[in-house]
Chain A
Amino acid sequence: MSAVETKPPRATSRRRFGVPAGAAPRARRSVVPRRIPYLLLAPAVLVMAATIGYAIVNLILISFQHFRARELILGLPTSWVGFDNYRYILGQQEFRDTLIRTLAFTAVNVVATIALGLGIALLMRQVGRALRVLLATSMVLAWAIPVVTATQVFQWLFDRDFGVVNWVLTQLHIGNFQQHSWLSNPVSLLGIATLIVVWAAVPFVALTLYAGLTQIPEDLYEAARVDGANAFSQLRSVTLPLLAPILLILALLSTIWDFRVFTQVFVLQKSGGISSDTNLIGIWAYHQSFGGSPNYGRGAATSVVGAGILLIVTAFAVRRMVRMGGER
């Protein structure tokens, strides 16, 4: 995005989109532009405040209430219970396990996505035109496949009875994978989920990084070569520093998206039949709210804790992004 652009002098920014200094009467310059940004923001901000903003405030309020299906359906008044819901979920061993599992899942997925995306972007710079078009096309195709579709396709690839993966692994004598059930073991279920997430997420990262790579002037590499830099130190001293802003954005977005993974694991659980050992935090919150004994207060508290932890994990990146954005 707008990361490394040089900072425009402050004096000019006031009249951005305005009349050049001295060309307009004073009143017009100072009054009209001041209202314009708020008018431009108003439609988006109003619609978001009325829906998602209102819902988030309510989510936080409910997390401090005793609020179950009974209260919802009958419209009964809810009672305030302070931090009871939070105390309850934090006291659950299952919640703590879920949280650690979610963090590990996120870390593995983000690192794999960024590493593979960067590798493929660099590869696209190295190969000839035909291979580059092939790589770009396969990336775009995979990117276009909807999440629900991808989850089903991977389930079919790894199907116990007729899945092609079991057949290939058996034919290659890697082991006897006939009737091997990938979804009945928590680790391999989350492994398949990781495959789906990474397969679907890499194209965006790879194509974005490739677009970034094409903007690095060739002269910089030439200068590095003159200085005797080999391929690895060119990568370290030229490519990575210049890509750093994009990598930061991508890592931040990937962390947010992967921490919130829901559909892929949810669908796999339904077919695999195991859930408590493979829950991620979003799914656990969902079960609290809609599961056996629905309790929206506890579900809301789980979501608030999850969002809070995500915020803490990403605080460093968010701060840097805001500082970069602030230069605009």
Chain B
Amino acid sequence: MSVLAPTVRAPRTAARRRRELRRGSPRRRAVFAAIALVVAFLWLFPVYWMINTAFKPSGDIQSLTPGFLPLPATLDHFRDAFGKNHFWDNARSSLIVTFSVVTLSMALAFFAATAVARFRFTGRKAVIVLLLVVQMVPFEALLILMFIEFNRAGLVYRLPSVIIAYLVFVLPFTIWTLRGFVAAVPVDIEESALVDGCSRAGAFMKVLFPLIAPGLVATSIFAFIQAWNEYIYANVLLTNENATLPVWLASFVSAGGQIDWGGIMAGSTLFALPVVVFFLLIQRRLSAGMTAGAVKG
């Protein structure tokens, strides 16, 4: 993105001198480094502790002096987790639901965002306001009403019900976010494509789409998180067999008696893993989206 690079490149030495000026004295730098380490520790520790517990034998987990390394390590909890309830069925549901929600929401949001960012039309302001206001309604409150609707349409206990529900939950936010990306692409680029003889649809697909692709990737994360994580709707609208993974994960807790922390942490680790992989894959594009073109000197 062009905005990320400074407009005039100063010679490298000057740039380094500037950066040093900004960072200040060695003592100040040491203080900042120390704070950075503490922050990183605070944010990493819960994740580390989850993995640590998942690999510990049950006896070591219920110890009054917690061990900071999972030694000796065991895979028992993971083996249990795979065997619990309908893991493979639920994983399949999760993949189908998540994939559907991400693709559908990106397609619909892309069209809608283009309309809002690129055209002036009657009702445009109303659309923008509605996109924000809809997000203020708590989705839990709509559960029973959506259930009645899906029931009437014969969709209850089937995957399309949650796919549609998640799709409409994420659309306001994804349209809103994508709007920024579309708006950041200069109109001139499309116009020159038109002058070169592209049709309007051709300009739309050949020129605008590739430029928006990074934005689509960044925005898709919100659809991904919603579809992968949502629990209450999945619990009500699906059966135990075709439910998504959050329902599977919740079944660990309601086991009763002594809480099986090893199992829960192993389940949590498995559940979080695909999201972490997805995030690490698209990491670089993650936050650029929110700020595309927002700051200009």
Contacts and interface: CB of A to CB of B under 8 A. Distances in A.
Nearest to B15: A218
Where chain A touches its partner, the secondary structure class is helix
B256 interface: no
A188 to B, nearest CB: 18
B4 interface: yes
A36 B138 contact: no
Contacts of A202: 43
Given A16-B119, A59-B142, A149-B50, A40 B286 contact: no
Nearest to B295: A215
A20 B196 CA distance: 12
A157 B46 contact: yes
Nearest to B107: A43
Given A134-B36, A141-B47, A156-B53, A2 B179 contact: yes
A297 to B, nearest CB: 12
B91 interface: no
Interface string B267-282: 0100110011011100
A328 B64 CA distance: 60
A153 B114 CA distance: 40
Contact of B40 (A135, A147, A210, A314): A135
A300 B145 CA distance: 10
A311 interface: yes
B43 A162 contact: no
Given A51-B146, A156-B264, A208-B287, A41 B127 contact: yes
B135 interface: yes
B99 interface: no
- Give the top 7 A-B pairs by smallest Cβ distance, nearest first: A1-B180, A303-B141, A40-B115, A37-B119, A207-B287, A217-B297, A37-B115
17 contacts: A1-B183, A18-B200, A36-B119, A40-B111, A51-B146, A51-B164, A51-B168, A52-B137, A52-B168, A55-B142, A58-B145, A62-B145, A123-B35, A146-B246, A146-B271, A216-B297, A322-B128
